[in-house]
């Protein structure tokens, strides 16, 4: 996706839709109303790509959040050895009567 933005008046949507649509395949198009930018149009492909990128960033942020919490736990001594943790988990599972 090229990050340059074309600027077109809103009347072009009605009179030159095919041209506006073609422009969105190259870069976003800012639509103006009374000379002020009002709306930005982009191709469906670029929109999907942008949404995927946002989803990936959100997933990474969730992982980093968990890692930061884990680092805090270690730094503050909120840890236990693996055998004790497994015993606690197994004990909780036994209570569920599965």
How do the domains of the chain map onto residue ranges? 6-42, 46-95
User: Per residue in 32-60, pLDDT tens?
Assistant: 999 999 999 999 999 999 999 999 999 99
Neighbours of 20 (CB within 10 A): 17
Q: How confident is the model at residue 4 (pLDDT cuts 50, 70, 90)?
A: confident
Q: What is the pLDDT of residue 64?
A: 98
Q: How confident is the model at residue 97 (pLDDT cuts 50, 70, 90)?
A: confident
How much is the average pLDDT of 63-89? 95
Token digits of residue 35? 């000379």
Q: What is the pLDDT of residue 76?
A: 97
């Amino acid at each position: 996706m090229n990050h340059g933005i074309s600027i077109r008046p809103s009347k072009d949507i009605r009179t030159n839709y095919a041209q506006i649509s073609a422009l969105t395949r190259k870069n976003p198009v800012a639509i103006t109303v009374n000379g002020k930018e009002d709306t930005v149009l982009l191709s469906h492909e670029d929109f999907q790509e942008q949404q995927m990128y946002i989803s990936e960033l959100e997933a990474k942020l969730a992982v980093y959040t968990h890692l930061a919490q884990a680092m805090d736990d270690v730094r503050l001594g909120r840890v236990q050895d693996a055998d004790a943790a497994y015993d606690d988990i197994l004990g909780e599972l036994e209570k569920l009567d599965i």
